[in-house]
Amino acid sequence: MKVLMLGDSQVGKTTYMASMYGFMADDKGFNIAATRDADRKALDRLARRVRRGEYPSRSEFRSEYNFEFRYTADDGDRYSLFNFDWIDYRGGAIHQRENDPIAADLSRYLNEAQALIVFWDCSTLDSNDRQIRRQWMRIKQLTLAYAARANENNPLALTFLLTKQALIPDDWTETKIGADLCNFIDMLAQNQYLHGMAACSEINEDSIGNVYFPFLHSMKFGFRDELNRRIARCERDHSAYYNRSIWGDIGVFFKGKDPELNRLNASNARMQELDVLFNSALETLKEQDGEGGYFLF
């Protein structure tokens, strides 16, 4: 699966990703690991700098990372779930004309992503600046292009992440862009196959901000698809097992055990356990809807 971050330059995309990695790389519960050693070292450095209040500079290029999503049990057993790509798209790309190769590249990622995280700087919600207004209109246009792909066979996750929460106006829902954002979310919420979240995030040396739940929200359909693939594979393996020749069944009867059947049963039990754990995490997300610095739509 692919997760795409979208937003203007210096809105906090790379900062969020570094903080997310620093938090989710902790080897317990649901966690992630970079599959390339160079990425792991670079992200570790970025996460340490962000914790010290040193924020990354403007991204000049698109960065694409591959992560392994996994679960580590209390006893230390680790279960690999699936790999996914996380794309940190440079902010300047949203301003390119539609016939520009960079715009075409961004459009391709919008057509491939299962999760989109849209970033917006809280300090600009009440801005009269014409350029900022154009940026907001472009963000809406790109978000609509992504949302149009959501249907019964292709549900999608969408997150609006308002960064620099300390700068948010008290009456932000009545500001020029804030009011339009609320109306935009109401419109998007009419699509039952588009699963949305709006969250505020403040990332500094004292707080990692709201990084876990937006990440978890982005993983929900990738996890569902991988679980369905594993269940289908397990059912095929079970079917092949029970369709063995009678001589194989007789051998099992006299031996009293079958390692292959034990393996299949253990695999099936592990998938059911992971499904329960992930759904429990999503239920926690729902229970804090409207109270945990975010709401679902």
pLDDT (tens digit, 9 = 90+) per residue, 97-110? 666 666 777 888 89
Domains of the chain (ranges; CATH) run: 2-223+285-296 (3.40.50.300)
Q: 3-state DSSP call for residue 210? A: coil
pLDDT given for residue 209 in this prediction = 61
Separation of alpha carbons 11 and 124, rounded Å: 10
pLDDT given for residue 40 in this prediction = 92
pLDDT given for residue 203 in this prediction = 65
Q: How confident is the model at residue 251 (pLDDT cuts 50, 70, 90)?
A: low
177, 126 Cβ separation under 8 angstroms: yes
* 8-state DSSP, 154: B
pLDDT given for residue 34 in this prediction = 94
Please tell me the pTM assigned to this model.
Answer: 0.86
Q: How confident is the model at residue 246 (pLDDT cuts 50, 70, 90)?
A: low
109, 2 Cβ separation under 8 angstroms: yes
| Encoded amino acid at 124, one letter | T
Q: What angle do CA 91, 97, 98 make, to 5 degrees?
A: 105
pLDDT given for residue 207 in this prediction = 56
Q: 3-state DSSP call for residue 72? A: strand
pLDDT of residue 204 exceeding 70, the answer is no
Q: How confident is the model at residue 15 (pLDDT cuts 50, 70, 90)?
A: confident
Separation of alpha carbons 281 and 291, rounded Å: 16
Residues 189-214 have a mean pLDDT of 81
Across all residues in the chain, what is the average pLDDT? 84
Residues 180-184 have a mean pLDDT of 95
pLDDT of residue 32 exceeding 60, the answer is yes
Residues 196-203 have a mean pLDDT of 85
Q: Pick from 225, 133, 212: which is nearest to 179 by CA?
A: 133
